[in-house]
Chain A
Amino acid sequence: MTLPKATDMRSLIISLQSEFYKSRKTLAFWASILLPLAICGMITIGFFSNAEKVIARNYPPDALWGIYSGSALGIMGMLILPFYVIFMAFSVNNIEHKNDTWKTLFAQPLNKFSIYAAKYLYAVLLIFISLFLFAVFTIAFGYLLHALNNGLRFNEFSPVALLSKLYLKLFLSSLGILSVQFIISLIWGDFLKPMGIGFIGVIMGIIVATKGWPYAYLVPYSHPTLVLSLSKGKDAPDIFSREIYSSLIYALVFFIIGYFIVARKSVK
């Protein structure tokens, strides 16, 4: 592979724009915004309606933030995030499978690798947006809860640093799953195979991560769970822990393999 040129960069940006344009009316795109809004919204409503009980227990502000953000993180990290990533990998590829547009896409006067990379990057971007919004909504709704009910002392502790770090780790830990699922969705145009394999992967990942298997960090599907379980004990986890490195290596390797698959696939 030769060094990227300025025109390849232009190809990449153009392709990214096109990915956005193509998917802006699809569930995959809106899910990245609506999912954090819905989950954070529901938890906030739950807290607000149970405010009396929560206040009665008189948690210190940092523990209050912990319980509140933990509910979103728990549901999110263990189950929703892996499935969301699987769905994302599926939808960015499915849009071409469904319409039989791979060959047209690769017959455009654009660098082939840029076209592929843009697709991958678009999925990464959507996951980033989603997790970013999770962090933003969690923090914003926490302060909103305080504004609505002064008894909830969300104002006395700032979770911004900790939550940003955790969500960043979740984001990085999801890239391994994304790359594996991205390839599966590239090869097979149907819904069942990526979902089935992904489902088994996620269940397996949760089991190996929670049972404390020493090599769990080698299974991409366990990375988000590992990120959450390791960070429970300590309040300031390192960003680049073992499972994050593992996730990034998986991402890189499968991203490159995927290009060779797509280059062959485009012609059939």
Chain B
Amino acid sequence: MSELVIETRGLTYNFGSQKVVDNLSLKVNKGSIYGFLGPNGAGKTTSIKILLNLLKSPADTVFLFGKEINTHRIESLKRLGALVEQPAIYGHLSGKENLINRCILLGLKKSKATDLLELVGLADSANKKAANYSLGMKQRLGIALALLPDPELLLLDEPTNGLDPNGIIEIRNLMIDLASNHGKTILVSSHLLSEIEKIATHVGIINKGKLLFQGTIAELHDLSKPTLEIETTDVAGAAAFLTDQGYVLIGSESKKLSLLFNSPEESAVINAILVNNGYQVSSICPIRKDLEHLFLDITKSN
């Protein structure tokens, strides 16, 4: 069993009377890239703030590196880096000075600032005032600040916000490199599934404070395999018949049954044997749910 870097146990958080996080049980394994997905206002940022102990969680609900966060705040914060909402940058300081300031706060060597500017591709703008940075450059600087202490865990709240396609790919590759070659654990939040799909090993989908899905990306894909939906008058009979023929059914309703879709040819065969054996088929069609739709379904049905 792998080690849990982040674990929340039935975490609930209220802003006044409004439940922002509702019975959330996150499990983030060491070395994974955990895509934390949800529409805007789902409670992602609140959850991340709780993980940073900016919002105080109830006792024994949040564990970082296996330790309760409220009683091990500084110890936990030392091992993580974070980018929350907009990157927190001092506009009157240059990119390099922003990093040096953080080096002072973290007790690190100032030379680390230069290394990180290289890493995120800001070496050329190191001495430019950060206020004059473009949105994408600010985002990179924010990521550099999060990476500065070489943390074991990275919490990135919509890190590719405002980046151009090139920048998005770079940050994506950086995240993959950090996780696979440097053993970092990354929790990255986003409201775009397509973005998470390409990098995450694990996914958690949150809506209205509730965790609706949590599992590996493969498990999520399983949910979205194409299916063949068949409408027939005698669902029970057809289901029994198809099972006899060796097909695997994945669901049946009053008028519909569905099985895994493999190819159009196979669909034709199924149609033919059903009709030949006296089952009336009123419709037969393959349905493909892409992850985007699945995500919408999951978050909508809540």
Contact = CB atoms under 8 A, between A and B. Distances in A.
B49 A267 contact: yes
Given A15-B105, A22-B101, A107 B89 contact: no
A110 B49 contact: no
Residue from B53, B75, B104, B107 whose CB has the most chain A CB atoms within 10 Å: B104
B106 interface: yes
Contact of A26 (B55, B85, B92, B101): B92
Interface stretch (A93-101, A126-134, A180-188, A231-239): A93-101
Interface string A135-179: 000000000000000000000000000000000000000000000
A108 B105 contact: yes
B1 interface: no
A104 interface: yes
A170 to B, nearest CB: 30
B196 interface: no
A109 interface: yes
A18 B93 contact: no
Interface string B67-93: 000000011011000101110111111
A58 interface: no
Contact of B104 (A7, A14, A26, A103): A14
A71 interface: no
Given A107-B77, A266-B54, A22 B93 contact: yes
Nearest to A25: B92
Nearest to A20: B104
Nearest to A115: B105
A106 B82 CA distance: 12
A interface: dominant SS:
helix
Given A25-B92, A103-B49, A107-B77, A18 B54 contact: no
Interface in A12-39: 14-15, 17-18, 21-22, 25-26
Given A107-B52, A108-B77, A111-B74, A18 B88 contact: no
Contacts of B106: 108-109
Given A266-B54, A267-B54, A101 B104 contact: no
Interface residues of A, number: 25
A14 B49 contact: no
A266 B54 CA distance: 7
A14 B84 contact: no
Given A21-B100, A266-B54, A110 B91 contact: no
B84 A18 contact: no
Contacts of B84: 103-104, 107
Given A99-B89, A104-B84, A110-B74, A21 B101 contact: yes
Given A103-B54, A103-B84, A107-B77, A21 B104 contact: yes
Contact of A14 (B53, B85, B91, B107): B107
A146 to B, nearest CB: 42
Nearest to A7: B74
Interface in A105-126: 105-111
Nearest to B90: A99
Contacts of B53: 107
A118 to B, nearest CB: 10
Nearest to A107: B52
B104 A18 contact: yes
A25 B54 CA distance: 29
Contact of B105 (A100, A103, A110): A110
Contacts of B82: 104, 107
B98 to A, nearest CB: 9
B122 to A, nearest CB: 18
Given A14-B104, A14-B107, A26-B92, A106 B54 contact: yes
Contacts of A109: 74-75, 77-78, 106
Contacts of A107: 52-54, 77, 82, 84
Contact of B91 (A99, A104, A108, A267): A99
A25 B77 contact: no
5 contacts: A14-B107, A99-B90, A103-B54, A103-B88, A109-B74
Interface of A: 7, 14-15, 17-18, 21-22, 25-26, 95, 98-101, 103-111, 266-267
4 A-B pairs with least C-beta separation:
A104-B88, A109-B77, A109-B78, A101-B88
